[in-house]
Amino acid sequence: MIIPVKGARQASKSRFGPGDHRDLALAMALDTVAAALVVAPVVVVTVGGAEFQSLGARVVQDAGLGLNAAIQSGLAVVDGSTTGTVALLADHPALQPTELREALAAAEEFERSMVADSDGSGTALVAARAGVGHDLAFGANSRAAHRARGYVELDGGWPGLRRDIDVPDHFGGLNLGPRTLEFVQR
Ligand SMILES: Nc1nc2c(ncn2[C@@H]2O[C@H](COP(=O)(O)OP(=O)(O)OP(=O)(O)O)[C@@H](O)[C@H]2O)c(=O)[nH]1
Ligand SMILES: C=C(OP(=O)(O)O)C(=O)O
């Protein structure tokens, strides 16, 4: 599974308002990666990334060409010919291994599939079957863009998987990972 994480110098979370949100962005990414590692091997594409290596992820350096290019560079180091490939965004710190397992099992039915985010316009995860390539469109309105590119929507509940944290209000009612929870409780 490929998880792109903006490097510490780039991490913004600008929708949280003024201030430095880099530590929060890192806490959320570490929680997302830790939950994903329970289910499958993870390649993190970022700048630096020793923290992710310590968790057990493989790290690929981000060449600075944007989100979709970062995910592609992660896909380039995994063999997608015998097992399917998955890309998951890193701001999903309430992700539960059980829901990720369910989503990956559901994805096996389709050549390309996706999980929309809880706001309804974005994408939490895309998956492609073994031997099937991706046509990535993460960014504004990525849900519609991925659908147009043949990604079939998976319809499980999966609140932790779907919830990308863009603003502080998004933390409410979630079973957050420990690093993010510590942050929120400060
Ligand atoms: N490696 C890598 N990851 C990225 C890049 N852009 C976004 N991401 C990751 O993709 C996820 C979604 O990012 P966004 O919500 O678009 O950006 P953000 O900085 O987290 O938040 P905003 O400033 O509010 O847009 C986050 O986990 C980011 O770390 C990129 O260029 N490279
Ligand atoms: C980049 C995306 O996420 P966000 O909504 O967090 O910007 C996306 O959903 O494609």
> Residues 32-76: pLDDT tens digits?
999 999 999 999 999 999 999 999 999 999 999 999 999 999 999
* Contact criterion met (CB below 8 Å) for 147 and 141: no
Task: Please indicate whether residue 183, judged by its CB atom, sits closer than 6 Å to ligand 2.
Answer: no
**Structure tokens given for 183:** 């942050």
**What would you report as the CA-atom Rg of the chain, rounded to the nearest whole angstrom?**
15
pLDDT band at 172 (very low <50, low <70, confident <90, very high): confident
Q: Interhelix angle for 22-37 vs 178-185, to 10°? A: 150
Q: Please tell me the pTM assigned to this model.
A: 0.97
Residue-level pLDDT at 5: 98
Ligand 1 centroid, distance to 155 Cα (angstroms): 24
Compute the average pLDDT of residues 129-137.
97
Domains of the chain in start order, with CATH, are: 2-164+176-185 (3.90.550.10)
Residue-level pLDDT at 10: 80
Ligand 2 centroid, distance to 164 Cα (angstroms): 8
Residue nearest to atom 16 of ligand 1 (CA): 139
